[in-house]
Amino acid sequence: MNKNNIAVVIGNSGSIGSAMEKELSDQGFKNIIGFNRSSNPRLDLLNEQTIAQSAQFIKDKNIPVCLVFDATGLLHDENNMPEKTYKNIDSMFMRKNFEINVIGPALIMKYFLPLLDKEEKSIFATISAKVGSISDNRYGGWYSYRASKAALNQMIKTVSIEMKIKNQNAVCLAIHPGTVESKLSKPFQKNDLTIQSAQESAKNIYKILNTSNLKDTGSFYNWDGTKIGW
């Protein structure tokens, strides 16, 4: 990645997004631009127009984009926790999971992928989750979150195939950040889990971004650099 080009962090008001912004700065990236629901311009995953306007804001700078990092996601909200059983499935909560974990990132792809640098390695990466792996599903539960992240992984795999034709220097990745100290994961932190600070997670994610190459496009990575089965 050319560190003089633009690096975009979407969801930079969250734990991982803000830590990734700092990590990119520490690594010497010169043009880091972050978006969230309160930024200017604002980017709201539930409002396609704001996503389009944010992409246009980047396009107008006439500088290639070396990285688009999507740090958005929903695991629970103030009214709902991940389902322990199919009996807890709620259509509104499931819809919200898909709106934020799948449709929002898909619209980010729609507007931001055309901005990626075509002359040098560029990356589109999104925060996924290991529980989105179908082959790794041993415990069940978490229906809405698992299903939405599995769908997000399919989006990454599918778009990586199309981008091989439209931009041969683009790498598209799904990354599981591990269990990170954040509001999202706090209710689920256990003593037997490796819990990272947001800064530690950002450093590990950056290693993946930095070492990945064109043959890795369409991959699903764990925070430690190993690949996760779909």
Give the model confidence (pLDDT) of 133-155 as tens digits.
Answer: 999 999 999 999 999 999 999 99
CB 171 within 8 A of CB 122: yes
Query: How many other C-beta atoms can be found within 10 angstroms of the C-beta atom of residue 78?
Result: 4
Torsion 116-31-204-186 (CA) sign? negative
What are the residue boundaries of the structural domains of the chain, listed by start?
A: 6-221
Copy the structure tokens of residue 32: 């880091």
Residue 187: what pLDDT?
61
Residue 4: what pLDDT?
95
How far is Cα 155 from Cα 205, in angstroms, rounded to an integer?
Answer: 20
**pTM, entire model:** 0.92
Which portions of the chain are predicted below pLDDT 70?
182-193
CB 217 within 8 A of CB 171: yes
Copy the structure tokens of residue 176: 């599981």
Residue 89 CB contacts under 8 Å (≥ 6 apart), including other chains: 83, 143, 144
Written as one string, the DSSP assignment of 35-68 is E-TTSSS---TT-HHHHHHHHHHHHTTT--EEEE
Q: Which amino acid is at 204?
A: N
User: Mutual orientation of helices 143-166 and 91-98 as an angle, nearest 10°?
Assistant: 20
Residue 194: what pLDDT?
78
6-221 has which fold?
Answer: Rossmann fold (3.40.50)
Residue 148 CB contacts under 8 Å (≥ 6 apart), including other chains: 74, 97, 98, 100, 101, 102, 132
Copy the structure tokens of residue 49: 């127009």
